[in-house]
C-alpha cells in the first residue's frame, strides 16, 4: 500500500535499537538450523516462515464478514457432535480470525508466504489470551486445512508447523471486501510500557509491579494507538522508488528468512521503552514504522492521503540542559566560530559541519569516556581535517558550553530521554484529543500539513509548561 501505499512495518535499521518496529525484517526462524551429519552431509532444512503474531487482525466490517464465511466453511466439514458454545465458540472465532489475518499478511508481503505456528498442547502457555493455546492452534489449523482454506505442513518434533492461504480463501476475501488495507496490528496493553535490564539490545525485559504512573502511561498509549489505528499512514512513493526501498530492506534481513515482496506499513502502535532497570532513564516512544523510516523518505509520508510536515526542536538536548539550570541558550548551540570561518575559507556553505559538531556534542553528553566519545562516526564527508583535529573541536564545544560543562561525559542523555519522551507523550496526546494525528520521531513530529500551526503551538506550549523557557522550532520539510 505504497499509495500504491506500501505497508512498511517499521522495518528500517533502528537508531539505538527498538524493536517491534523491526519485526518484519528480523523475524525469528521458524525452524532451527540444520546440524551437519557425522558423515559430512547436511540435514534437510525446511523452508522458513514468519511466526504467528496474535497482534494481527482485520478491520471490520470486512474482517467479521470474512471470519463468518470461513467459519461456515469449517462447519461444513467438521464432524464434531456438540456445537461450541459460550467461551469456546468465542475463542474459536477469534483464533480463526487471527489465523486468517496472519496468512493474508504473509500472502501480501512475504515470499515464501508461510506462517509458522506451534501445535503442541503446552505451546503459548505464556500468553495471556484464553483463545490462544497449542491445542486450539492444532484444531483450528486442521479444520482450516480440511475446509481447503489453508495448506498446512505439520512440523516434526523440534520444528514448527507452517501454513499458507489457498486460492479458495483468496476468493472469499474478495467476496468479503478484504484488501491489504484491511490488515491491522495492535500491541496488547501489557506490552506498552517496557523496562529493560540495560537496553533493548540485550533483549532482557524485566517484570515489574505496575504503579499508578505506569498504568497511566499504558492507558494513554492504548488510547492513542486506538486513535492512530483509525488513520491511514502511508508512504507516497513511485513504483520504482518502492522497488528500490524493498530491495534495500531485503538486504538488511538475515539470510534464509522470507523475502519482502513489498514493505509493510502495518505497525502503528507505540510503546515506551525504559532502560537500565529504571523508569527515570529512557522512556522514548518506539513501535511506529515511521520512527525508523530513513530521513530522506519521511517527506513522502502521508496521513489520510494528505501530505505532511515535520517540525522538530532545534538543539533539543543541549537546550534542555541549559533550561533545567534556569539559563537561556543563545544562538545556534552547534555553531563554532572558528569552524564557521574554516567553512567560509573552504567555500562551504555556513553549517556545512553542523551535523558533525552536533554528533560530537551529543556523543559527549551521552558518553562517559572522552577518548572513546571522540571516536564516534561523523556524517560522510564532514571530516574537520586538515584544519582541526577532533580533540580541538571537542574543546571548542566544551568551551562554548562551559555553563553546562558538568553534563559532558556524564551520560546525561539517558536522563534527558525521559524528559523528551514525557514531552512527546504530552504533545501527541493533546493533539489526538483534538482529532489531530501527530506521529512522533523522538523530538520531532509529523502531522498533516494543514495542522502544522496547531503542532507548532502545542510544541511551544508543552515545552514552556515543562521548562519555563521557549524552544526553537524548525521545519524539516
Q: What are the beta bridge partners of residue 7?
A: 264
Secondary structure (3-state) at 185 = strand
- What residues contact residue 115 under an 8 Å CB cut-off, 6+ apart? 49, 50, 51, 52, 99, 102, 103, 105, 106, 162, 163, 164
Burial profile 259-290: b = 16 or more Cβ within 10 angstroms, e = fewer = ebbbbbbbbbbbbbbbbeeebebbbbbbbbbb
Q: Which residue has the cell 493533546?
A: 430
Please confirm whether the linkage preceding 466 is cis (ω < 30° from 0): no
Is residue 109 within 8 Å of 262, Cβ to Cβ? yes
pTM: 0.82
Read off the pLDDT of residues 207-230 as tens digits, 9 standing for 90 and up. 999 999 999 999 999 999 999 998
Distance between CA atoms of residues 197 and 199, nearest Å: 6
Cα 97-103-109 angle, rounded to 5 deg: 135
Residue 443 has a pLDDT of 94
Read off the pLDDT of residues 392-417 as tens digits, 9 standing for 90 and up. 999 999 999 999 989 999 889 899 99
* Range list of β-strands (E), 232-314: 233-235, 259-260, 271-274, 282-286, 301-303, 306-313
| CA–CA distances in Å: residue 125 to residues 109, 128, 159 | 29, 8, 18
Residue 419 has a pLDDT of 96
Residue 41 has a pLDDT of 35
- What residues contact residue 255 under an 8 Å CB cut-off, 6+ apart? none
Residue 47 has a pLDDT of 52
Q: What are the beta bridge partners of residue 162?
A: 116, 153
Distance between CA atoms of residues 435 and 227, nearest Å: 8
For CA atoms 201, 207, 212, 216, the dihedral sign is: positive
Residue 392 has a pLDDT of 93
Q: Which residue ranges in the chain fall short of pLDDT 50?
A: 1-46
Orientation of helix 212-229 relative to helix 413-433, angle to 10°: 50
Residue 253 has a pLDDT of 73
Distance between CA atoms of residues 34 and 156, nearest Å: 13
Amino acid at each position: 500500500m505504497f499509495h500504491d501505499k506500501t505497508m512498511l512495518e517499521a522495518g528500517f535499521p533502528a537508531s539505538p535499537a527498538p524493536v517491534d518496529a523491526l519485526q518484519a525484517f528480523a523475524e525469528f526462524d521458524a525452524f532451527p538450523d540444520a546440524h551437519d551429519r557425522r558423515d559430512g552431509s547436511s540435514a534437510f532444512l525446511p523452508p522458513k516462515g514468519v511466526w504467528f503474531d496474535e497482534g494481527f487482525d482485520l478491520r471490520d466490517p470486512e474482517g467479521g464478514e470474512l471470519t463468518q464465511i470461513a467459519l461456515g466453511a469449517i462447519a461444513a466439514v467438521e464432524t464434531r457432535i456438540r456445537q461450541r458454545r459460550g467461551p469456546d465458540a468465542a475463542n474459536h472465532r477469534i483464533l480463526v480470525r487471527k489465523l486468517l489475518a496472519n496468512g493474508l499478511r504473509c500472502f501480501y508481503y512475504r515470499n515464501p508466504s508461510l506462517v509458522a505456528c506451534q501445535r503442541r498442547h503446552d505451546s503459548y502457555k505464556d500468553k495471556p489470551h484464553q483463545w490462544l493455546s497449542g491445542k486450539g492452534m492444532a484444531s483450528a489449523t486442521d479444520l482450516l486445512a480440511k475446509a481447503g482454506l489453508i495448506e498446512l505442513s505439520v512440523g516434526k518434533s523440534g520444528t514448527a508447523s507452517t501454513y499458507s492461504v489457498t486460492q479458495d480463501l483468496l476468493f472469499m476475501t474478495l467476496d468479503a471486501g478484504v484488501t491489504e488495507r484491511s490488515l491491522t496490528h495492535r500491541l496488547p496493553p501489557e506490552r506498552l510500557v517496557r523496562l529493560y535490564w540495560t537496553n533493548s539490545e540485550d533483549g532482557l525485559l524485566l517484570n515489574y509491579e505496575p504503579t499508578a504512573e505506569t498504568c497511566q502511561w499504558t492507558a494513554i498509549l492504548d488510547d492513542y494507538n486506538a486513535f492512530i489505528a483509525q488513520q491511514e499512514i502511508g508512504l507516497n512513493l513511485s513504483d520504482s522508488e518502492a522497488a528500490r526501498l524493498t530491495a534495500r530492506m531485503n538486504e538488511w534481513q538475515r539470510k534464509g528468512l522470507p523475502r519482502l515482496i513489498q514493505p509493510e506499513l502495518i505497525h502503528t502502535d507505540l510503546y515506551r521503552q525504559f532502560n537500565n532497570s529504571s523508569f527515570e532513564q529512557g522512556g522514548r516512544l518506539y513501535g511506529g514504522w515511521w520512527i525508523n523510516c530513513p530521513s530522506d523518505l519521511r517527506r513522502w509520508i502521508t496521513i489520510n492521503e494528505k501530505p505532511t510536515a515535520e517540525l522538530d526542536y532545534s538543539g533539543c538536548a543541549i537546550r534542555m540542559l541549559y533550561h533545567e539550570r534556569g539559563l537561556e541558550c543563545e544562538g545556534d548551540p552547534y555553531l563554532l566560530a572558528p569552524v564557521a570561518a574554516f567553512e567560509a575559507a573552504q567555500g562551504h556553505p555556513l553549517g556545512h559541519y553542523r551535523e558533525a559538531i552536533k554528533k560530537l556534542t551529543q556523543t559527549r553528553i551521552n558518553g562517559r569516556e572522552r577518548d572513546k566519545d571522540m571516536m564516534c562516526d561523523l556524517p560522510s564527508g564532514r571530516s574537520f581535517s586538515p584544519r582541526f583535529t577532533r580533540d580541538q573541536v571537542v574543546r571548542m564545544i566544551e568551551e562554548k558550553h562551559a555553563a553546562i560543562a558538568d553534563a559532558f561525559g556524564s551520560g546525561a542523555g539517558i536522563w534527558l530521554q525521559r524528559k523528551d519522551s514525557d514531552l512527546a507523550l504530552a504533545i501527541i496526546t493533546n493533539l489526538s484529543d483534538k482529532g489531530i494525528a501527530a506521529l512522533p520521531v523522538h523530538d520531532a513530529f509529523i502531522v498533516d500539513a494543514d495542522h502544522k500551526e496547531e503542532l507548532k503551538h502545542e510544541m511551544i506550549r508543552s515545552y514552556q509548561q515543562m521548562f519555563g523557557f521557549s524552544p526553537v522550532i524548525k521545519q524539516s520539510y
